[in-house]
Amino acid sequence: MADKNAILAGLAEIVEEETGLETEEVQLDKSFTEDLDIDSISMMTIVVNAEEKFDVKIPDEEVKNLTTVGDAVTYIANAAG
């Protein structure tokens, strides 16, 4: 399984690039919408950039299940094997 800390760090960089949020704010327990104020379109940009960065596929129907940063990190870690 891929290193979750490395995935979190990489994901935080993607979120920072899309939203301007500091990487330290992107923590596992944070909700993308409630805590980080990321809307559905920004979320999709983050997903596509994460796919490229981690060489995984995140189907449209899975995106709706990624409520927290932790959900996304776990999904990417499992998908990356």
Nearer to another protein, 24 or 60 (CB): 60
Can you read off the two tokens belonging to residue 49? 């950039």
Nearer to another protein, 22 or 39 (CB): 39
| Catalytic residue from among 35, 39, 55, 60 | 39
Is 79 a binding residue for another protein by CB under 8 A? The answer is: no
Candidates 9, 10, 16; CA nearest to 55 is: 10
Say whether 39 is catalytic. yes
Q: For the CB of residue 41, give the shortest distance to another protein in the complex, in Å.
A: 5
Is 44 a binding residue for another protein by CB under 8 A? The answer is: yes
Is 60 a binding residue for another protein by CB under 8 A? The answer is: yes
Is 80 a binding residue for another protein by CB under 8 A? The answer is: no
Candidates 71, 21, 22; CA nearest to 47 is: 71
E strands, the chain, where? none
- Distance CA(43)–CA(2), nearest Å, equals 22
Q: Which amino acid is at 50?
A: A
